Amino acid sequence: MAAPFMQRICPRLFGQVIDYCSFRGTMQSKPLQAYSRHFSSKTLNTSWRRGIRLFASASAAVAVLGTGAGLVHHFWQTQSVRAENPLFDDKDRPYIKPSREVRVDTDNTGLKLTLYQYQTCPFCCKVRAVLDYHGFSYDVIEVNSITKKQLKWSGYPKVPVLIVEMPNSNTEVILRDSSVIISALESYLSDRSTSLDKYAMFYPCYTEVISGKKKYDFPNKYFIMYQETKDIGTSPKERSEERKWRRWADDHLVHMLSPNAYRTTREALQAFHYFSYVGEWEKNFSFFERQVVIYAGAFVMYIMGKILKSKYSLKDDVRQSLYDACNEWVKTVKHGKQPFFGGVQPNLADLAVYGVLNSIEGCTAFEDTLKNTNIGPWYNRTKAAIQQHQGSHPLHTKVAPSDMQKEPSKK
Ligand SMILES: N[C@@H](CCC(=O)N[C@@H](CS)C(=O)NCC(=O)O)C(=O)O
């Protein structure tokens, strides 16, 4: 059964493998016969000789088959990279009543945005920071983190996912991955004469099955697609620095969160009670489910925190690693001698770092960080800029530095 199938995939290679397996041709080759003949003349009787020959043949067949199987596996792995289409028909997405509707009067994009999220996921917090900063109106669908039933239709297992419905169109755009969402929106805002579905095409999603697990890759995710004719207003170095720190937020800062938020069982439990409160879990879970998620979740994440601490080589005192990361960021912002890394206004790196830290705002780890580092003033400035939708304001109405010091209201 397998032979014709394999021959179709790689005829030359598997032709040889099958020849070996069926003991035709090379299996009866001379060196093997010579080897067995040498033994036979001195010590072995005929049946021993046959046995050894059979054993040697079987071992060779197993070795060849093993190599063949490895090659087939490798072949499928490298051939299974697929690009997924970001456009789909709106009929494919079931209607779910949003758990929250954010409305900003000044949003004139005409886009209908729906964010599938967990309220305290750092990647979702990053996306909300950008949406709010630019003053987009959007609906929020809180995904049940256990069943993920709200996301089943998408085939993508993670949050955030942003759906963009464009005016007068039955086609919807699905944007997966926080950095893709942010870059696609930013590209669109830089030049609205190109529609968002066109920008979405610049962020292909490649999937690949590795060790039975589907992996997702978005090679362009940190790049903003500027139209060549537009004056971008930033230098290539500034744009490269912005990408570097966005990546740092995703690949470094984010790994400080779990070991710190769930440092002790007590802190883990406190964190999960906070998540339940801000995530309004009472709307998504029954009382019993909520208790299970809080207690089981806290316990599992306490263990995960320890595993991640070792995986990402955090210091024994994990707080110190979090403080080091925050101090590194503050030093970088101060180096520019401006209120934000982006200058007088936050850029995407400011919003990314803010979003990641915002996800643990109600946790003891966050309180400790404010007390033991100088990140507070920058954090509060960024929060105020986001809450006031400063990204949507024309330049002359941008907030003066004195206004930036105001204490922002609760999350
Ligand atoms: N690179 C992705 C990471 C997203 C991610 O890992 N999200 C987590 C929640 S924080 C998730 O959905 N994990 C899968 C799960 O909960 O089963 C992004 O930036 O959006």
Q: Residue 401 carries which DSSP code?
A: H
CATH of residue 104's domain is: 3.40.30.10
Mean pLDDT (whole number) for 175-191: 96
Ligand 1 centroid to residue 159 C-alpha, Å: 5
Among candidate residues 79, 109, 135, the one where a domain is terminated: 79
Computed on alpha carbons and rounded to an integer, the radius of gyration of the chain in Å comes to 29
Q: What is the dihedral of CA 363, 365, 366, 370, to 10 degrees?
A: 140
Tokens of 259: 């070991």
Condensed to tens digits (0 to 9), the pLDDT of residues 364-393 reads: 999 999 999 999 999 999 999 999 999 986
Q: DSSP H helical segments within 279-363, as ranges?
A: 281-284, 287-311, 318-335, 348-358
Distance CA 186, CA 192 (A): 10
State the average pLDDT for the chain: 82
List the Cα angle 120/123/125 in 5-degree steps: 50
What confidence tens digit (pLDDT) does each residue in 310-321 have?
999 999 999 999
- The atom number, within ligand 1, closest to the CA of 121 reads 10
Is residue 240 in a domain?
no
Helix (H) / strand (E) containing 15: helix 11-21
57 in the same domain as 106: no
pLDDT of 75 strictly over 70: no
Lowest mean per-residue pLDDT among 198-207, 275-284, 291-300, 341-350: 275-284
Of 48, 79, 110, the last residue of a domain is: 79
Burial level of 380, CB count in 10 A (0-12/13-18/19+)? middle
Exposure class string for 86-123: b at 16+ Cβ within 10 A, else e: bebeeeeeeebeebeebeeeebebebebbbbbbbbbbb
Cβ atoms within 10 Å, residue 385: 28
Determine the number of helices (DSSP H) and then strands (DSSP E) in the chain: 17, 9
> What pLDDT is recorded for position 69?
66
Tell me whether residue 45 is in a domain. Answer: yes
List active site positions.
118, 121, 123-124
Q: What is the CATH number of the domain that holds 274?
A: 1.20.1050.10
**Total domains in the fold of the chain:** 3
Instruction: Give the residue, by CA position, lying nearest to ligand 1 atom 11.
Output: 158
Residues 33 and 142 in one domain: no
Range of the domain at 42: 2-79
Give residue 314's pLDDT.
Answer: 98
Same-domain status, 345 and 284: yes
Residue 289 lies in a domain: yes
**pLDDT-wise least confident of 140-149, 266-275, 338-347:** 140-149
Within 10 angstroms of residue 184's Cβ, the number of other Cβ atoms is 28
Please name the amino acid found at residue 22: S
For residue 246, tell me if it sits in a domain.
Answer: no
Q: DSSP letters of 188-229?
A: HHH-TTS-HHHHHTTS-EEEEEETTEEEEE-TTTT-----TT
Task: For residue 307, tell me if it sits in a domain.
Answer: yes
Chain position carrying tokens 């032709």: 15
Whether residue 111 contacts residue 164, with contact meaning beta carbons closer than 8 Å, is answered with yes
Q: What is the pLDDT of residue 297?
A: 93
Pocket of ligand 1 (CB under 6 A): 118, 121, 123, 145, 157-160, 177-179
Tell me, yes or no, whether 75 and 92 share the same domain: no
Task: Please give the model's pTM, rounded to 2 decimal places.
Answer: 0.78
**Of the candidates 233, 265, 299, which is a domain's last residue?**
233
Residue 241 in domain: no
State the DSSP code for 39: H
The token pair that represents 247 in the structure block: 């990546």
In a domain, 266, yes or no: yes
Two structure tokens written together for 135: 């003053």
Probe target for ligand 1 pocket from 120, 130, 148, 158, with the most ligand atoms within 8 Å of CB: 158
Whether 134 and 176 map to the same domain: the answer is: yes
Cis peptide bond prior to 236, omega within 30° of 0: no
Domain match, 119 and 41 both: no
Assess whether 205 and 139 both reside in one domain: yes
> Ligand 1 centre from 230 Cα, in Å?
34
- CA 117 to ligand 1 center in whole angstroms: 9
Distance 161 CA to ligand 1 centre (A): 10
Is residue 332 domain-shared with residue 391, that is, in the same domain?
Answer: yes
**In this structure, how many other beta carbons lie within 10 angstroms of the beta carbon of residue 40?**
16
pLDDT digits (tens, 9 = 90+) for 94-139: 999 999 999 999 999 999 999 999 999 999 999 999 999 999 999 9
Verify that 40 and 165 share a domain, yes or no: no
Same domain, 277 and 227: no
Q: Do residues 33 and 133 both lie within one domain? A: no
Residues 219 and 264 in one domain: no
